[in-house]
Amino acid sequence: MNEFDQKLAGIRRAFHRDPEVGFNEVRTKAKVAQQLRALGVEVHEGIGVVGVLRSGDGSRTIGLRADMDALPIQETSTHDYVSLNEGVMHACGHDGHMTMLLGAVELLANDPDFDGTAVFIFQPNEEHGLGARAMIDDGVLLQFPLDEIYAIHNLPGAPLGEVSTRVGQICASESLFEIKITGQGGHASMPHVGVDALTIGAEMVQALQTIVSRKLAPEAGAVVSVTEFLTDGQRNILPGTATLKGDVRTRLPQDREDIERFMRQIVDGVAAAHGARAEIVFDTEFIETINSAAPTDGVIQAAKNAGLEVIGDRQPMSFSEDFAHFCEAVPGCFLLLGNGTTTPYNQPLHAADYDFNDALLPIGATLWAQLLKDRLPKRKNI
């Protein structure tokens, strides 16, 4: 390891030892801000931390984003930088994401071979899908209007440093729903004088299955899962209320809107058929992450220029990412970067024995810097 690689490993391990969950990233934010200041970069501290580096007089601005939060998981590894915080762990590699971006800031600050403005966005609370939205609602994109935005996520089990991405949808949406049925409770021996919310709920559970199987195109790849069914009934008490809860995943915004519409139709229809009332709350926590064409081509080019293997048409990921909110507002690209094929670097994200691969830090930092320079090229002297 050279000095730069060692420095990055030290920064990453310090983050790893002291993980903080979403919206509690107090010490993490302080560390990020301190590192940015040490590199001579303009720093803005708010809901997240933003660093700004300008070079030349170009008007274009590119955003590079890293996430900062950890997960409520008890780490099981025994290495010497294991989490010191009981029940909290960097199990998604966000310690590495922050460090790769800080490494890129150092490379770019030392060699500002670009023309325009680089905005380094360190966002809180990715895991609950709230941090990106919070920063956008707080005006980060008004304060720093971006032409393009990018994010890297490590990918366990993929070869070290292999870049993979695609144009269009890359991560799924996640919506949670809750259906409240109100009938009439009563005596289990006299159902005819009540309105049994459980039977009505059961009919809804069955009918909801037809949304994916009969109303969406077979290739939609959507999921509607009812995961909880709660009533106020007991052995001899006819339930007067029932609550169904569940989870919806989609690849396209149109499918998500259609599912919500069909769900309301079914629920209202079944409730009306039995003289009950029903209400639905449909709350989209993560929208679909959609990569734009030009930024994605830029990532593929930058990866090649950085000497990395690249897959430009990978399969979409089944997980969700709140970077989606940035991609909705600004043309962007979310890319995966191979974390390596050996244990523990091939353990799944969110596993208690997962670890970010320190060997990936300089690779990611170099890729970030390459991408920034490629997207903000210096004008050639004529």
Q: Is 337 in the site for Zn ion (CB under 5 A)?
A: no
Got the DSSP string for 51-97? EEEEETT---EEEEEEE--BBS------STT---STT-B--SSHHHH
Which among 110, 125, 123 is positioned nearest to 365, based on CA atoms? 110
C-alpha to C-alpha distance for 382 and 380, rounded to whole angstroms: 6
Provide the minimum distance between the beta carbon of 59 and Zn ion in the complex, in angstroms, as a whole number. Answer: 32
Which span sits near Zn ion by CB under 5 A: 87-95, 173-181, 194-202, 373-381? 87-95
Residue closer to Zn ion by CB (options 68, 92) is 92
| Interatomic CA distance for residues 258 and 201, integer angstroms | 21
CB of 321 to Zn ion, least distance (A): 7
In terms of CB distance, is 96 or 183 closer to Zn ion? 96
Residue in the shown chain whose Cβ atom is closest to Zn ion: 92
Residues between 7 and 66 with contacts to Zn ion, criterion CB under 5 A: none
The residues pairing with 16 across neighbouring beta strands, listed in sequence order, are none
- Confirm whether 113 is a catalytic residue: no
- Where are the extended beta strands (E) located within the chain? 42-45, 49-55, 61-67, 116-123, 148-155, 163-164, 168-171, 173-182, 186-187, 223-231, 237-238, 241-250, 277-286, 289-291, 310-311, 332-338
User: How far is 50 from 337, CA to CA, in rounded Å?
Assistant: 23
Q: Which stretch binds Zn ion (CB under 5 A): 84-92, 193-201, 209-217, 357-365?
A: 84-92
- DSSP secondary structure string, 218-247? GGG--EEEEEEEEES-BTTEE-SEEEEEEE
Give the binding-site size for Zn ion (rule: CB under 5 A).
Answer: 1
| Cα–Cα distance for residue pair 291/169, rounded to 1 Å | 6
Q: Which uninterrupted H or E stretch holds 139?
A: none
Closer by beta carbon to Zn ion, 70 or else 365: 70
Min separation Cβ 349 and Zn ion, Å: 5
Closest distance to Zn ion from the beta carbon of 95 (Å): 11
User: Taking the complex as a whole, how short is the minimal distance between the CB of residue 42 and Zn ion, in angstroms?
Assistant: 27
* Interface with Zn ion, residue 92, by CB under 5 A: yes
Q: CB nearer to Zn ion: give 55 or 339.
A: 339
Closest to Zn ion by CB, 89 vs 276, is: 89
Please give the residues from 353 up to 382 whose contact with Zn ion meets the rule CB under 5 A: none
Binding range to Zn ion, per CB under 5 A, among 42-50, 90-98, 160-168, 205-213:
90-98
Catalytic residue among 126, 196, 322, 358: 126
CB of 300 to Zn ion, least distance (A): 22
DSSP for 295-323 reads HHHHHHHHHHHTT--EESSPPPPSS--TT
70 binds Zn ion (CB under 5 A): no
Nearer to Zn ion, 170 or 216 (CB): 170
Cβ atoms < 10 Å from Cβ of 292: 17
Cβ at position 126, least distance to Zn ion in Å = 6
Q: How many helices (H) and strands (E) does the chain have?
A: 10, 16
- Candidates 92-100, 223-231, 292-300, 307-315: pick the segment binding Zn ion (CB under 5 A): 92-100
CA dist 95 and 83 (Å) reads: 11
Given the residues 18, 67, 69, 355, select the one marked as catalytic. 69
| CB closer to Zn ion out of 62 and 92 | 92
Catalytic residue check, 138 = no
Binding site for Zn ion (CB under 5 A): 92
Instruction: Report, as residue numbers or ranges, the catalytic residues.
Output: 69, 126
